[in-house]
Amino acid sequence: MNKNFGLLIDGKWLKNKKTINVYNPFDGKKISAVSIADSKQTINSIKSAHLAFQSWSKTSAKYRSEILKKLFKLTKESKDILSEIITLESGKPLEESKVEVEYGASFIEWAAEQALRSEGKLFESPENDKKMFYIKQPIGVVVAITPWNFPLAMVTRKVSAAIAAGCSVILKPSELTPLTALKFGELAIKAGLPKGVFNIINGNPKLIGEILSTNSMVKKITFTGSTEVGKLLMKDSSSTVKNISLELGGNAPFAIFSDANLDKAIEGFIAAKFRNAGQTCISANRLFVEKKIFNKFVKKLVLRFKKLKVGNGFENNDVGPLISEKAIKKIKNHVDDALSKGGKILIGGKKSKVGKLFFEPTIISNVNTKMKIFSKENFGPIIPIIKFESDEELIRLANQTEYGLAAYFYTKKTSRIWKVIENLDYGMLGINSGKISTYLNPFGGFKESGLGREGSLQCLEPFLETKFVSWSYND
Ligand code: ADP
């Protein structure tokens, strides 16, 4: 598994004495150790990317597209091994890992196609002897910092769009799940990416992060992770005024109105809540149910929770482990905080006997807005359930958070749907659907959930500069 050591710099795999261990969150066993970059190697990766950019940025979009198509094919062909690595280092159920590989690969194919459609614009000029237009050019060296919850898809969403745009990339994957990214690096080299176009470095996030976000050769930072680290990167990168895209935390409301199809709403909720054991930034984080159906709905939901199988991701379970002790502690703290403020456990509420990093799927009622489970991102298999009586009350409560990433609601009433769409302060909405992620989705959020969008028709845009030209041909 650790044949690629941990560092891909200037087309070479490097091995260092200093390593970090990678563990399987299911049983805490060590899977591998990967080399970590020191300051010098981090700077070397920037220099390599900078040099590679000079030629890569001049290649044709067609050429870049061809290489990405090869990478797409190789990724699809490696589905089994990639899914196994994802489950091994993240703990998520194998079926989910397979879906992640398909999802991750879709970004590569999409970027390969969108590379061919990058365009500038010629305007009708206000002056007779002038042509006015703008062209798009790759922004330069891109740093991509990615999280552990989607060890492949968050990498491909950023890296393939940057490469399609003509940028070179330094990827710093999460130290908790570097192995998937390293396997992907192997495929990228095999697909024909020239040396230095794609570098991977692992190591101390603070040390590496500071070097990358303050170096003037780096022109763009694209980050997915916590709001706290996102703010830090924004601050550090301000010294060189870097372009920055941030996809940060969420606190997704999931609302069910009394006219909704309850069975479908429950399945949509389970999908939105339990993907990766609740560890996604678009996971349902607060469940709002209209008063008229509250009791009936709660009974159905508790029954549905009882059916969830918690356990090893390799053994056909629905809910895997959390990623770390820190994550378990946070969930426990949120539950204790809710109980101390009058919350009531309807099911679950404690660590699961399955293993050290498992928590029981939990529903908490009697919730108020002062509780952490209302205001903070839980990132685990727990959910507060809250009654509401009107559209206005739902909109007010749903928006009562500093986050604004994803929101979901179930209703059949068309007049209400438009009102809710317009008034929810969120970047992405699921209406009668708990699944919103595709390459077509402009992924990103309002407020402190981030800056910019990834994927979508505009997937190359974050990696392009606009150059305006006013050309007098009356010379
Ligand atoms: P989480 O709390 O969900 O693990 P983080 O924001 O800590 O999310 O991690 C997301 C990514 O950010 C990971 O790749 C991690 O290594 C990286 N990271 C963490 N701290 C820093 C930092 N100070 N500078 C740069 N990257 C960081």
Residue nearest to atom 17 of ligand 1 (CA): 205
Residue nearest to atom 25 of ligand 1 (CA): 209
Is residue 382 in a domain? yes
In this predicted model, what pLDDT tens digit does every residue of 199-231 receive, in sequence order? 999 999 999 999 999 999 999 999 999 999 999
In this predicted model, what pLDDT tens digit does every residue of 349-387 receive, in sequence order? 999 999 999 999 999 999 999 999 999 999 999 999 999
In this predicted model, what pLDDT tens digit does every residue of 389-432 receive, in sequence order? 999 999 999 999 999 999 999 999 999 999 999 999 999 999 99
In this predicted model, what pLDDT tens digit does every residue of 246-290 receive, in sequence order? 999 999 999 999 999 999 999 999 999 999 999 999 999 999 999
Q: Does one domain contain both 211 and 301?
A: no
Is residue 443 in a domain? no
In this predicted model, what pLDDT tens digit does every residue of 191-206 receive, in sequence order? 999 999 999 999 999 9
Confidence of residue 475 (pLDDT cuts 50, 70, 90): confident
Q: State yes or no: pLDDT of 473 exceeds 90.
A: no
Confidence of residue 2 (pLDDT cuts 50, 70, 90): very low
pTM for the complete prediction?
0.97
Average pLDDT score, the chain: 97
For residue 474, what pLDDT is reported? Answer: 83
Distance between Cα 169 and ligand 1 center (Å): 18
Give the CATH number of the domain where residue 290 resides. Answer: 3.40.309.10
Verify whether ligand 1 is closer than 6 Å to residue 154 (CB atom): no
Q: What percent of the chain clears pLDDT 70, i.e. is strictly above it? A: 99
Instruction: Identify which of 20, 229, 236, 448 to mutate to test ligand 1's pocket (most ligand atoms within 8 A of the CB).
Output: 229
Q: Does one domain contain both 12 and 104?
A: yes
Q: Does one domain contain both 218 and 151?
A: yes
- Whether 281 is a known active-site residue: answer yes
Q: Does one domain contain both 237 and 286?
A: no
Domain interval for residue 235:
7-248+449-470
For residue 282, what pLDDT is reported? Answer: 97
Q: Give me the catalytic one of 247, 377, 448, 461.
A: 247
Number of separate domains in the chain: 2
Q: Over the chain, what HEC string results?
A: CCCCCCEEECCEEECCCCEEEEECCCCCCEEEEEECCCHHHHHHHHHHHHHHHHHHCCCCHHHHHHHHHHHHHHHHHCHHHHHHHHHHHHCCCHHHHHHHHHHHHHHHHHHHHHHCCCCCEEECCCCCCEEEEEEEEECCEEEEECCCCCCCHHHHHHHHHHHHHCCEEEEECCCCCHHHHHHHHHHHHHHCCCCCCEEECCCCHHHHHHHHHHCCCEEEEEEECCHHHHHHHHHHHHHHCCEEEEECCCCEEEEECCCCCHHHHHHHHHHHHHHHHHCCCCCEEEEEEEHHHHHHHHHHHHHHHHCCCECCCCCCCCECCCCCHHHHHHHHHHHHHHHHCCCEEEECCCECCCCCCCECCEEEECCCCCCHHHHCCCCCCEEEEEEECCHHHHHHHHHCCCEECEEEEECCCHHHHHHHHHHCCCCEEEECCCCCCCCCCCECCEECCEECCECCCCCCHHHEEEEEEEEECCC
Is residue 317 in a domain? yes
Is residue 444 in a domain? no
Is residue 421 in a domain? yes
Give the CATH number of the domain where residue 91 resides. Answer: 3.40.605.10
Q: What percent of the chain clears pLDDT 90, i.e. is strictly above it? A: 97
Is residue 2 in a domain? no
Q: Does one domain contain both 29 and 71?
A: yes
For residue 5, what pLDDT is reported? Answer: 77
Q: Does one domain contain both 456 and 355?
A: no
Is residue 262 in a domain? yes
Q: Does one domain contain both 360 and 420?
A: yes
Q: Does one domain contain both 222 and 108?
A: yes
Q: Does one domain contain both 284 and 149?
A: no
In this predicted model, what pLDDT tens digit does every residue of 21-67 receive, in sequence order? 999 999 999 999 999 999 999 999 999 999 999 999 999 999 999 99
- Whether 247 is a known active-site residue: answer yes
Is residue 213 in a domain? yes
Verify whether ligand 1 is closer than 6 Å to residue 441 (CB atom): no
Verify whether ligand 1 is closer than 6 Å to residue 231 (CB atom): no
Q: Does one domain contain both 48 and 106?
A: yes
Confidence of residue 1 (pLDDT cuts 50, 70, 90): very low
Q: Does one domain contain both 397 and 462?
A: no
Confidence of residue 3 (pLDDT cuts 50, 70, 90): low
Distance between Cα 173 and ligand 1 center (Å): 9
Q: Does one domain contain both 295 and 321?
A: yes
